[in-house]
Amino acid sequence: MAQHLKGASVSAEIIENIRREQSKYPGQVRLAVVRMGEKEEDLSYEKSIVKKAKEAGIIIQVHVLPEEITPKDASRLIEGLNADPQIHGVLVFRPLGNPLVEKQIVNTLAPHKDVDGITPLSMAGVYSDEEGLFPPCTAEACMRILSHYLVTLSGKKAVVLGRSQVIGKPVAMMLLKENATVTLCHSRTQNLMETVREADIVVTAIGKPRAVTGQFFRAGQVVIDVGINFDENGKLCGDVDFEEADKVVAAITPVPGGVGVVTTALLLEHTMKAAKR
Amino acid sequence: MAQHLKGASVSAEIIENIRREQSKYPGQVRLAVVRMGEKEEDLSYEKSIVKKAKEAGIIIQVHVLPEEITPKDASRLIEGLNADPQIHGVLVFRPLGNPLVEKQIVNTLAPHKDVDGITPLSMAGVYSDEEGLFPPCTAEACMRILSHYLVTLSGKKAVVLGRSQVIGKPVAMMLLKENATVTLCHSRTQNLMETVREADIVVTAIGKPRAVTGQFFRAGQVVIDVGINFDENGKLCGDVDFEEADKVVAAITPVPGGVGVVTTALLLEHTMKAAKR
């Protein structure tokens, strides 16, 4: 059986640090959450943020956009949040349901309040190793888990499955910064199984339930599963077939209980950092 | 002997297109070149730009910064170029010799005149596939050569040696966009030779004369050599040992006469595009 790289202990450490920091400014650190409508996955993520924020001592302020909102009005709301000194971070639940509104928001949000790294400048920051901006929380969560569990990255082969702007690309850039040799794979990759088997570290972010089966793996590998999917029975699962991989690899993150919980903690850490500036 | 992927025919096609476009606005398309001092490599690059620009019908306007210029004064010059409707593109020769001045310039230059993709927004554009901004010319030159010579990229293994912001990273992003499976290698990569041998397409951008020897290659590979180096006898050469690789691979760009000439042509193409907007 592989070592299970649980997110709980990584998250607990992060939350404890925020709580300590926050105690210098009690009740003053505030994160605005912006969502459109009442999608189930948004409400579920929001609930977990609210719970963790309470532990950390951070105040959450929810803004629900009506589905018929215009880009202009959405922009006005974001400008208000940008200008509000009581708001330190802004999280937008995406996809928002209206691509034009989403684009407008992404281009309006002030980079220093962009705690989930969605603005063009935040993205450029990840790409060019600029300090002072926030990377997407999920990508950073992968890195935090690797560092918490003391996984060596320098000189190692890392393979990333999925090339999205939210996870695949930024996590590739962050692995590269830690001197891993990084391969980006995707739906068009040939010999995917062979490529994954050659890796020392595998990060999966493809959004397909248990698509990465045991055959993809070999002994000694470390697997970070970013997928949050539901199988045909409605059961939450990752991109990796956990049961099969568990028999083969050295270490793997569970789903749930892996990357997701660390992502939420980092969102609050970013908000705390934004507040301190 | 391998096919030699010469830049001249790629460049000629680009220049011919610009010349035709430009004839609608004769003597009106203008590129500002900004350099500091009289470095030999800058003067040599400038000379080739001036020559190509003449063929294409684009006017070059050179601005020489004194070495003692302050960031503030450099910023004022760039703001002037940003505001000048007669200037359509701005090229800054880097490294500039003064990192503070360079940083100030990069952050001041208007993205729509940034014909060599050095501003944070241009970089974010390459990373996130945004349209309407200019990628670094050298990275795009690699892609143009591959497309001109009809090299298939989708599903192929591409290995990039070097992870610089100017070439390695952007060319990796551009190869990824064309559906190649991309591996980024660098000085810390272990088993570099083995990794390069597995690739279908190899792009070298490490700046070390003939460091990539024949042993790195196998039959059937396509090699794009971005290096512009001088060997111990002062002779211009690439990162690849051309003579050795030439016996093994399917196709390779020569140095000189490969990527470099296409880079200059693309600089002018970007200027033409900026003028048309």
Predicted confidence (pLDDT) per residue in A108-131, tens digit: 999 999 999 999 999 989 998 878
Q: Is B190 on the interface with A (CB under 8 A)?
A: yes
Residue A277 has pLDDT above 90, yes or no: no
Residue A174 has pLDDT above 90, yes or no: yes
Report residue A236's pLDDT band, with 50, 70 and 90 as the boundaries.
very high
The CATH code of the domain at A137-259 is: 3.40.50.720
Contacts of B185 in chain A (CB under 8 A): 181
Q: Is B106 on the interface with A (CB under 8 A)?
A: no
Q: Do B121 and A123 touch (CB under 8 A)?
A: no
Q: Is A185 on the interface with B (CB under 8 A)?
A: yes
Side-chain-side CA neighbours of residue B196 (13 Å): 27
Mutate: best of A127, A156, A164, A193, partner B, most B CBs <10 A: A127
Report the predicted TM-score, pTM, of the whole model to 2 decimal places. Answer: 0.95
Q: What's the pLDDT score for residue A1?
A: 93
Report residue A93's pLDDT band, with 50, 70 and 90 as the boundaries.
very high
Predicted confidence (pLDDT) per residue in A2-41, tens digit: 999 999 999 999 999 999 999 998 899 999 999 999 998 8
Q: Is A120 on the interface with B (CB under 8 A)?
A: yes
Q: Do B190 and A179 touch (CB under 8 A)?
A: no
CATH of B26-115, one of 3.40.50.10860, 1.10.3720.10, 1.10.1660.10, 3.40.50.300: 3.40.50.10860
Contacts of A188 in chain B (CB under 8 A): 154-155, 179, 181
Q: Is ipTM beyond 0.90?
A: yes
Contacts of B126 in chain A (CB under 8 A): 127
The Cα B181–Cα B154 span in angstroms is 8
Q: Do B128 and A123 touch (CB under 8 A)?
A: yes
Q: B222-225 and B251-252 as β-strands: parallel, antiparallel, unpaired? A: parallel
Report residue A101's pLDDT band, with 50, 70 and 90 as the boundaries.
very high
The Cα A89–Cα B196 span in angstroms is 43
> Which candidate, A271, A228, A227, places its Cα nearest to that of A116?
A271
State the nearest Cα–Cα gap between B54 and chain A, in angstroms. Answer: 35
For the domain made up of A26-116, give the CATH fold. Rossmann fold (3.40.50)
The Cα A171–Cα A133 span in angstroms is 15
Mean pLDDT computed over A181-188: 98
Q: How far is CA B88 from the centre of its chain?
A: 19
Q: Is A186 on the interface with B (CB under 8 A)?
A: yes
User: Of the spans A48-52, A95-99, A125-129, which averages the highest pLDDT?
Assistant: A48-52
Helices (H), chain B: 7-22, 40-56, 71-83, 99-108, 120-128, 137-148, 168-177, 192-198, 242-246, 259-276
Q: Do B176 and A165 touch (CB under 8 A)?
A: no
Mean pLDDT computed over A131-147: 96
Q: Do A181 and B183 touch (CB under 8 A)?
A: yes
> Which candidate, B93, B140, B177, B102, places its Cα nearest to that of B273?
B140
Mutate: best of A126, A179, A181, partner B, most B CBs <10 A: A181
Contacts of B199 in chain A (CB under 8 A): none
Instruction: Go through chain A and tell me how many residues it has.
Output: 277
Q: What's the pLDDT score for residue B114?
A: 98
The Cα A22–Cα A276 span in angstroms is 9
Q: Residue A101: enclosing H or E segment and its boundaries?
A: helix A99-108
Domain B137-260 has CATH 3.40.50.720: yes
Select the residue of B173, B176, B185 nearest A181 (Cβ to Cβ). Answer: B185
User: For chain A, what are the domain ranges?
Assistant: 26-116, 137-259
Q: What's the pLDDT score for residue A132?
A: 83
The Cα B202–Cα B219 span in angstroms is 12
Select the residue of B127, B163, B189 nearest A169 (Cβ to Cβ). Answer: B127
Mean pLDDT computed over A69-77: 97
Q: Do domains A26-116 and A137-259 have the same CATH topology?
A: yes
Select the residue of B125, B130, B154 nearest A188 (Cβ to Cβ). Answer: B154
Contacts of B121 in chain A (CB under 8 A): 120-121, 124
Mutate: best of B114, B181, B182, partner A, most A CBs <10 A: B181
The Cα B49–Cα B58 span in angstroms is 10
Q: Do B190 and A127 touch (CB under 8 A)?
A: no
Report residue A209's pLDDT band, with 50, 70 and 90 as the boundaries.
very high
pLDDT per position in chain B (277 positions), as tens? 999 999 999 999 999 999 999 999 889 999 999 999 999 889 999 999 999 999 999 999 999 999 999 999 999 999 999 999 999 999 999 999 899 999 999 999 999 999 999 999 999 899 988 788 999 999 999 999 999 999 999 999 999 999 999 999 999 999 999 999 999 999 999 999 999 999 999 999 999 999 999 999 999 999 999 999 999 999 999 999 999 999 999 999 999 999 999 999 999 999 999 999 8
Q: Residue A36: enclosing H or E segment and its boundaries?
A: strand A30-36
Q: Are A90 and A105 in contact (CB under 8 A)?
A: no
Contacts of A165 in chain B (CB under 8 A): 127-128
The Cα B95–Cα B55 span in angstroms is 27
